[in-house]
Every structure is written in structure tokens, then in C-alpha cells.
Chains A and B, each alone.
Chain A
Amino acid sequence: MIKVTNLVKRYGTNYALNDISFEVGEGEIVGLLGPNGAGKSTAMNILTGYLSSTSGEVYINGVNILEDPIAAKKNIGFLPEQPPLYPEMTVTEYLNFVYELKSCELDRAAHLDEIMSVTKLTEVKDRLIRNLSKGNKQRVGIAQALIGDPKVVIFDEPTVGLDPKQIIAVRNLLRTLAKRHTVVLSTHILAEVQAVCERVIIINKGKIIADERTEDIVKTIEDGYRYRVKICGPAREVEASLRRISGVKAVEATGDRDLDSYAYIIESDKNVDIRKSVFNFCVSNGWPMIGMEPHGTDLETIFIRLVDRSDGVVETKKRRK
């Protein structure tokens, strides 16, 4: 549905995007993740035809966006980072304007009613946009993107600035949309990707540093497993003994103390499950273990590690030059 090949966007000598390629299939919901300034918005603006690339190609539903922008844009609904709203219009007036702007051919009344129903705007349809809450303004922004029933909907930071309740509502809405549309959303909020997306593309400094299924990314990136365990016992002795367990690569005492227990981070090889060994080790030494949980496998930690790693690569290359 979306095909991006060797996309480059250069501003002077700076690369906002540096040779990016990816494809998004029909019905996929993909998160474009990256720190601020990574190139997410630039990528989305090029995908939607708002910006032109320095080189590279973008195909939307098989149509090259530079060669036939109008045909390509008919397949796209776009919610920019700041919803493009006219505050002096009511919700209905605004959606009617967008309907006409997109030269939509669906039955107007039925189509707009359906969109307002999906985005839960029916109750506020006659209110001026300037008087709506931020959450409802965001819904209006999403509603305009859905007009014309585009095959691809692209959302740039769709939950930014919303309160937690509104964020949950918008995420639920995004999941609903994925049933009918191919969805690409950008965010720097990692929980959002975990909550909504099937696949994540991580961008840093204009380059793709990871492109995986959300559930697979941890396995792919990590070269081992980490667990945080809490063991009651003499700290130094426990730490030294833990290192001797087969399969344990590293042990680090965190220094956290909870009553008479201490916390340790144990790292193992990728193909070894050390949980049973650690449990048996504690039992045999008479040191009660009162907690064990995966450590550093949340997307947040992975993301930071990935970004740091890619920054390191860039720095190393610079030094070599």
C-alpha cells in the first residue's frame, strides 16, 4: 500500500532523511518511532505530498506521489502534528468543507454521519471548533483525515498534548481504524507503539535503525536476557555466587535494599533460560528469593539502547573521517 525507496531529504548539508526505504502492506498499523528531530514528521510530510524529497520515490497504492500527486493524495488521509482546523467553523461546516476539498463522491450525509459517529463527534457537531476541548479538536482532526474513506491514514503524533483519558480514547479509535485502513502513525511515546502498532519502524538522525514487529523487536535487538531479582542474604556473597551459575554472563548489584533483601540485575546468554537455575541456587543456599522480573526489555529501554547505539555508530564514522 505504501512503498518508500531510497528516500533522501536534504536541507543544505544536513540530512533530515538519509536513504530510507520501507513498505507498508494493506491493513497494517505501523508506528514510526524516534526522538524529536529524528525525521518522523519529514517522512510523513513527504508521504503525504506536503514536502518533496531530494531524491527517492514514494508510491501510495501503486501511484508515484510526484508523478501523479492528485491521484496519490486521493488515497491518503493525513492528520498533521497540529490539527489543521478553522476555529471559526462548526464541526459540521468544517467536515463539509473538507468533503468538498477532497472532491469526495460518497453520499455526503451518510458519509459524514458515519465519520462523526466513529470519531464520537455527533454530540458536538454544531459547536464552533474554537470552543471544543483539545481531545475533541483532535477527533475533528482525525475525522477530516477519514473523509473520502482513504486507503491510507497517516497520523503525526496523534495523542500529543492530550490528557490520559483522551489518550486512551484516541488509541482505541486508532485501533478501530486499522480494521478498515492502512495506518501509519508517528510518535515519540513508546507506550503508544506498544499499545497500538503491530510493527515499529525506529528512526534516528534520518536513518531507519530498526524495522520489526513490535513483539519481536525485543528478541531481535537484545543479545541476551536480563532479570531483576531480589534475594535475602549477604550481598557480596550472593553476588559472587550468582556469577558462578552456568549461563550467567554478568551480575550487577543495584544497591537497592528492601528490608533484608538486595536487588541484582542478572544477564544471561540469549539462548539460556537461567530462571530455574537461579531459583534452585537460592533454595540450596537458604537465601529466600522474594522477586524476579524481566529487566530492560520494555520498549523504552530498547529504544534508548538502539538510539544510543546508532548515535555511537554515527560518532565513530565521524571520527574515522
Chain B
Amino acid sequence: MLAIYKRELRGYFVGVIGYVFLVIYLAMAGILFSYTTMFSMSANVTSYFTLMLIFSAIVLPLLTMKSFSEERKTKTEQLILTAPISLPAMVFGKFLASYTVFGSATLLTSLYFLFLVPYAKLQFAILFGNLVALMLVGMVFISIGLFVSALTENQLSAAIGTIAIILGFLGIGLINTLIPTKYAIRFVFSALSIFTRFQSYVNGYFEIASVIYYLSVSAIFLWLTIRVYDRRRFG
């Protein structure tokens, strides 16, 4: 697993994708942070984290779109799949590499909050809770991205497919606006919605149930990725 992790991580920065992701992510986070806090004369980070959630949904597929599709297209997957390593080790190695890049970028953006220190009293618990939530959601997005990347050898299809599924998970709570309040199904849509769950953190509530939800969805998509490879062997 370590070999896959190291190669994957190195692959991001030997090519341009790692740098492109970091530049776009840090720049956009800076712009969103400036507009939602400093330019608005506010220390409230609610809007910032909500926008970062949506932005991550669009930019994270950059990290995952090549993960499996490129290996499949160039046939390098034959090397990995015939090496004495397990499928979970392969998938988890790639997941960790993508997550390292995303996690490092997100931690770097937390330095932006230092700019607010001279002007306002920061609520570090809320900031920390939101950062943890964003990191957890990133885990889900990356898992979805890896799963879709394993389904195709076309990077663009992988990116578009990932964004579509993520937007589905984000927007599923919106269906509730069309359903009368008396129906219990609203609870299901609400529980499945990444956006609805994320709002709890934004509003200052740290929900353990949501942590379990994010970890579970992530685990399910990683498991599905393993299953894709397992199924393909049986052709």
C-alpha cells in the first residue's frame, strides 16, 4: 500500500494536476474567505465554509479523475493487479494519496483565519468543527471520485460523473421542499443530504451521527471501488 501511496502522491507533483489543484484551491479559498469575512467586516465563517463545501465538490474530481481511469487506459493497472498486493491495499493507497493533497490544502487554508485575529475574537471551537466537517466531506467526495474513476478509462467522464453524484448527495435535501411535512420520507432525504448535515456544523453543532455518516458513505464507496475491480476480474 505504501508503494502505491508514494507513487500516487509523487504522480500529482511530477505532472501538473497537484499544482493546479493546490493553486486553484488555495486561491479560491482565499477569495471566498476575503469576500465572506474581511471585505464584509465580519468574523462569521458560515458563508465561507458553505461555499467551500460547494467549491470542493467541483474541484476535488481533479484529484481523483485520473486515479484508476489512467491506469486502466495505459494498462499500468496490470502491473498492480498482478503484484502480490490486495485490492483493498491498492484502493486505500490511492485514497490516502488524494486525501493527503486535499487535507494538506485544507489545513493550509486554515492559516487564513489568522488574518482575522487582530480584528475579531475568533470562535475556535466553531472553526475547528467546520474544518473537521470539511475534511470529512472531502473524504466522501474523494471516495466517490475514486469509485467513478474505476468505472471508466476516460478522465473527463470520471470528473463529470463524480460531480454529478456529489451534487446529487448535496442536493438530495432540496427534494424535501417539494414534499409536504407530514411524510416521513423527508427524514430519509434529510439524513442522506451532505449539505443538510454540513449545515449543522456551520451553525456550530458537532454531530457525532454525521461523523459516522461521512465515514460510512466514504467506506461504502471505497468498498464499491474494490468490488468494481473484483467484478472486472470475472469479466
Contact = CB atoms under 8 A, between A and B. Distances in A.
A78 interface: yes
A71 B83 CA distance: 10
Contact of B82 (A49, A52, A54): A49
Q: Is the interface of B mostly helix, strand, loop or mixed?
A: helix
A86 interface: yes
B188 to A, nearest CB: 37
B234 A70 contact: no
B84 interface: yes
Interface residues of A, number: 29
B228 interface: no
Interface of B: 2-4, 6-7, 11, 14-15, 74-86, 233-235
A23 to B, nearest CB: 21
Contacts of A84: 74-79
Contacts of B82: 48-50, 73, 76, 78, 80
A259 interface: no
A67 interface: no
A11 B233 CA distance: 12
B153 to A, nearest CB: 13
Contacts of A103: 84-85
B14 A49 contact: no
Contacts of B4: 101
Interface of A: 9, 11, 48-52, 54, 69-71, 73-74, 76, 78, 80, 82, 84-86, 88-89, 97-98, 100-103, 144
Contact of B78 (A11, A50, A70): A50
4 nearest A-B pairs in the assembled complex, by CB-CB distance: A100-B3, A84-B79, A73-B84, A101-B3
A65 to B, nearest CB: 10
Contacts of A74: 84
B96 to A, nearest CB: 15
Q: Which of B81, B83, B85 has the most CB of A within 10 A?
A: B83
B81 A82 contact: no
A97 B75 contact: no
Given A11-B235, A88-B15, A97-B3, A80 B78 contact: yes
Contacts of A144: 79
Nearest to A85: B76
B76 A97 contact: no
Contacts of B78: 50, 78, 80, 84
